[in-house]
Amino acid sequence: MIATGQTLKSSEEIMGRSLWADARHRLLKNRAAVAGMIILGLVALLAVLAPLLSPFAYDEVNYDIIACAPSWWPVEAACRAPGHIFGTDAVGRDLFVRVLFGARVSLAVGLVATLVSLLIGVLYGATAGYLGGRIDGLMMRIVDVLYSLPFIFFVIILMVIFDRNFILLFVAIGAVEWLTMARIVRGQTLSIKQKEFIEAARAGGVSPFGIILRHVIPNVVGPVMVYVTLTVPGVILTESFLSFLGLGIQEPLTSWGVLISDGADQMETAPWMLLFPALFMAVTLFCFNFIGDGLRDALDPKDR
């Protein structure tokens, strides 16, 4: 059974099925996640193609048709605006194109702010996890202290100070979410560090940098990915919250948060102003949640 050490011809090498392939397979079997990905893709597409999809500009004001329902609106409405699929807003702008532009802004905020939180969180968490010991203890104490602070308040103060700077909005929101990311990355790094295959690599003479690059990072990516997909909806919600208070996106730019906030004011007389942006936002957030849950189950199946 034990062959002697002769050189063998390279026989058919069987390709193994990696853990990533397994995970991908499981993810694609999850119908909710797949539906989420498709719908999200559609929304993103619409957002990107926004200017091409409507004859109206997003800031085109028209005082003749303020707060008018779309022509197909089934309920009695004060006025109708033919040609505007979603109706018009309080100053006669086309709601459809505004929803799509709002999609651009909201998705952009979502992605960029999440990226910011990802960068800060991963660096912080990986450093704390890898260095371990007292430095880790100190860094995590800081995270613990910051975790129970109502960060929003500081974001609000920041927005007031810097006069609602657009870029700052991204950074500030990202700075709110990095804490959990840091915790997750640190937790994963710590548990990987203790695994025997890390010790085996050290015994095999691999340098610490090599260990981080080839062993730690690939094993940390999974949970991080899951958390990223679940952070985006939180960020979008935070932005909409700020916009509602008047501290977020400023005119004439718009986001879903702004649209919903305006729509909520007009809810009794022009419910379509609230309905369409709220619908878009809710559906998008759902998609992210389904994808995130699907990823989590795919990478770490527990319900057996």
Partner 1 sequence: MIGYALRRLLGAIPTLFVIVTLAFFMMRAAPGGPFDSQRKLTPEVERNIKAAYDLDKPLAQQYLIYLGKVVHGDLGPSYKNKDFTVVQLIATGLPVSARLGLCAMALALLLGTFLGVNAALKQNRWEDYSVMTVAMLGITIPTFVTAPILTLLLGIYAGWLPVGGWNGGALANMILPVTVLALPQTAVVARLMRGSMIEVLRTNYIRTARAKGLPTHRIVLGHALRAAALPLVSYVGPALAAVLTGSLVVEEIFGLPGIGRYFVQGALNRDYTLVLGVVICYAALIIVLNFLADIAYGILDPRVRLT
Partner 2 sequence: MTPLLEITNLNVRFDTADGTVEAVKNASLVIRESECLGVVGESGSGKSQLFLAAFGLVAANGKVSGSVRYRGEEILGASPKQLNGLRGGAVTMIFQDPLTSLTPHMRVGDQIIEALTIHRRVPRAEARGQARAILDYVRIPESARRMRQYPHELSGGMRQRVMIAMATITGPDLIIADEPTTALDVTVQAQILEILRALKTDRKTAIAMISHDMGVIAGLADRVQVMRDGEIVESGTADDVFYAPKDSYTRMLLAAIPKASEPPPPVTAVGAPLLTVDDLKVTFPVKSGLFAKTQKLRAVDGVSFVLHQGETLGVVGESGCGKSTLARAVLKLAPQTGGRVVWLGRDLDAATQSDLRALREDFQIVFQDPLASLDPRMPVGQSIAEPLKALEPGLSRESVREKVRSSMARVGLDPSWINRYPHELSGGQNQRVGLARAMIVGPKMLVCDEAVSALDVTIQAQIVELIRTLQAETGLSLIFISHDLSVVRRLSHRVMVLYLGRVVELAPAAALYGDPRHPYTRALLSAVLTPDPRVERAKKRELLTGDLPSPLDPKAQLTFLKSRLNTPDYRPRLDEVTPGHFVAEHD
> Is there binding between residue 13 and partner 1 (CB under 8 A)?
no
Residues 129/191, Cβ–Cβ less than 8 Å? no
Cα 125 to Cα 132: distance, rounded to the nearest angstrom: 10
Number of residues counted as binding partner 2 (CB under 8 A): 39
Cα 159 to Cα 136: distance, rounded to the nearest angstrom: 32
Residues 112/174, Cβ–Cβ less than 8 Å? yes
> Is there binding between residue 274 and partner 1 (CB under 8 A)?
yes
> Is there binding between residue 138 and partner 1 (CB under 8 A)?
no
Residues 191/261, Cβ–Cβ less than 8 Å? no
Cα 108 to Cα 236: distance, rounded to the nearest angstrom: 9
Residues 260/240, Cβ–Cβ less than 8 Å? yes
Residues 175/146, Cβ–Cβ less than 8 Å? no
What letter represents residue 38's amino acid? I
284-303: contacts with partner 2 (CB under 8 A)? 301
> Is there binding between residue 75 and partner 2 (CB under 8 A)?
no
Which of 14-22, 57-65, 229-237, 264-272 is the region at the interface with partner 2 (rule: CB under 8 A)?
14-22
User: What is residue 88's DSSP assignment?
Assistant: B
> Is there binding between residue 114 and partner 1 (CB under 8 A)?
no
Cα 114 to Cα 170: distance, rounded to the nearest angstrom: 9
Site string for partner 2, 196-235 (x = CB under 8 A): xx-xxxxxxxxx--x---xx--xx----------------
Instruction: For the CB of residue 275, give the shortest distance to partner 1 in the complex, in Å.
Output: 10
> Is there binding between residue 11 and partner 2 (CB under 8 A)?
yes
Residues 240/255, Cβ–Cβ less than 8 Å? yes
> Is there binding between residue 134 and partner 2 (CB under 8 A)?
no
Q: Contact with partner 1 (CB under 8 A): which of 21, 28, 131, 160?
A: 160
Quickly tell me which residue has 């011809």 as its tokens. 9
Residue 111 interacting partner from partner 1, partner 2, none (CB closer than 5 to 8 Å by kind) = none
Q: Contact with partner 1 (CB under 8 A): which of 260, 270, 291, 295?
A: 260
Residue 246 interacting partner from partner 2, partner 1, none (CB closer than 5 to 8 Å by kind) = partner 1
Angle between helices 95-131 and 272-299 (to 10 degrees): 30
> Is there binding between residue 246 and partner 1 (CB under 8 A)?
yes
> Is there binding between residue 292 and partner 1 (CB under 8 A)?
no
Residues 185/121, Cβ–Cβ less than 8 Å? yes
Reduced to 3 states (helix: H, G, I; strand: E, B; else coil), residue 90 is coil
> Is there binding between residue 82 and partner 2 (CB under 8 A)?
no
How many Cβ atoms are within 10 Å of 145's Cβ, its own excluded?
9
Residue 6 interacting partner from partner 1, partner 2, none (CB closer than 5 to 8 Å by kind) = partner 2
Which of 16-24, 64-72, 147-155, 164-172 is the region at the interface with partner 2 (rule: CB under 8 A)?
16-24
Q: Contact with partner 1 (CB under 8 A): which of 156, 168, 198, 217?
A: 156
Cα 104 to Cα 257: distance, rounded to the nearest angstrom: 12
Cα 301 to Cα 205: distance, rounded to the nearest angstrom: 34
Q: Contact with partner 1 (CB under 8 A): which of 197, 282, 300, 301?
A: 282
The residues of the shown chain that bind partner 2, judged by CB under 8 A, are 1-8, 10-20, 26, 195-197, 199-207, 210, 214-215, 218-219, 301, 304
The residues of the shown chain that bind partner 1, judged by CB under 8 A, are 141, 144-145, 147-154, 156-158, 160-161, 233, 237, 240-241, 244-247, 257, 260-261, 264, 267-268, 274, 278, 281-282, 285-286, 289, 303
